[in-house]
Amino acid sequence: MIQIENLTKQYGAVRALDNLNMTVEPGSIFGFLGPNGSGKTTTLRILTGLAKPTAGSAQVAGVNVSKDAYNLPSHIGYLPEEPAFYSWMTPQEFLDYIGRLHGLSSSKRIARIRELLILVGLTEAGKRRIGGFSRGMRQRLGLAAALVHRPEVLLLDEPVSALDPAGRKAVLELIEQLSGQCTILMSTHILADVERVCNVVGIISRGRIIVQSPREELLNRYVQPVFEFDSTDVSAFQRWAELLKKQTWITSVSIEGQTARIVVNDVVQARAELLASVMAQHIVLRRYEEIRPSLEDVFLQLVETESPQ
């Protein structure tokens, strides 16, 4: 649904995108993940036709964004990081205006507005002026506006980065509900949000995609198994840690406060020997846990590898 090939964007001496290559399959919720300044917003501006690439090409829903940008609006919905509204309008008036821009008939606009206000939880606020809305309400209205014409592709630029926990939860739940209705590209630097709603992840660093993979496959491929132990006997922990460092199946051992974190390269041997080892040192445990792979661990590992020394 989105095909990017060798996309480059130069701003003077700054290369925001550097031969970017990326594919987004139909129906996926694609987490476009990267640190601030990595090129995420520049990519979305090109995909929406708001900026032109210096080199390379991009297609969205079969439309070449450089050669045929005029036809893009009927295929895409776009929610910028800070959506803009006419503050004197109500949500009903604003969504009706967006529907007119997309050529929807009066009857279709009425039905679609009712449907969208229910979807984003703004039915009761439908006749209030937008100027008095909270940031979370404005973000939900922006999402409704992006969906008025039932786009094939939904482009979201940091949709929850400035929201409080309640607002983030509401918007992420909306994005989850849209799964299967359209293809979603969600740009963000918040790893927990990607881990929650996205089924495919692309990590961008310094204008280039460094990895793209289904989320679970990415976790399984890059994250080493981690075991954690909690005990109040810190001195015994320290002695045990020194013994563990001699084992070839252990990658690293770190102790922070009352928690020992052990990264291993052989999970089978670790499961067989770690618990027996700590019990042999007569350490009383409060917790023993094999930690689920974290997208944050993958992200930090890959981005740090790409960072200039």
Are residues 247 and 143 part of one domain? no
> Is 300 contained in some domain?
no
Residue 85, domain CATH: 3.40.50.300
- Residues 165 and 283 placed together within one structural domain of the fold: no
pLDDT digits (tens, 9 = 90+) for 212-222: 999 888 877 77
pLDDT per residue as tens digits for the range 147-206: 999 999 999 999 988 788 888 888 999 999 998 899 999 998 888 888 889 999 999 998
In the prediction, which pLDDT does 128 show? 96
User: According to the model, what pLDDT value does residue 223 have?
Assistant: 67
**Model confidence over 230-246: pLDDT tens digits?**
998 888 888 898 899 88
Q: Note whether 107 and 76 are same-domain residues.
A: yes
Biggest CA-to-CA distance, the chain: 76
pLDDT of residue 309: 41
Torsion angle of the four alpha carbons 50, 36, 34, 176, in this order, in degrees rounded to the nearest 10: -70
Across the chain, mean pLDDT equals 90
Six-digit token string for 10:
């130069």
Residue 274: name the closest of 229, 207, 208 by CA. 229
Q: Looking at residue 306, what is its pLDDT?
A: 61
Residue 173, helix vs strand vs coil: helix
Asked if 239 and 213 sit in the same domain, the reply is no
Structure token digits, residue 193:
């949000």
pLDDT level of residue 304 (50, 70, 90 thresholds): low
State whether 131 and 239 are in the same domain. Answer: no
Average pLDDT over residues 105-118: 97
Q: What is the pLDDT of residue 6?
A: 96
Residue 109 lies in a domain: yes
In a domain, 208, yes or no: yes
How many whole angstroms separate alpha carbon 106 and alpha carbon 94?
A: 14
Statement to judge: residues 18 and 159 lie in one domain:
yes
Do 213 and 233 belong to one domain?
A: no
Q: What is the mean predicted confidence (pLDDT) over 292-300? A: 72
Residue range 53-92, pLDDT digits in tens: 999 999 999 999 988 888 999 999 999 988 999 999 999 9
> Which range of residues forms the domain containing residue 42?
2-221
- How far apart CA 112 and CA 88 sit, in angstroms, is 21
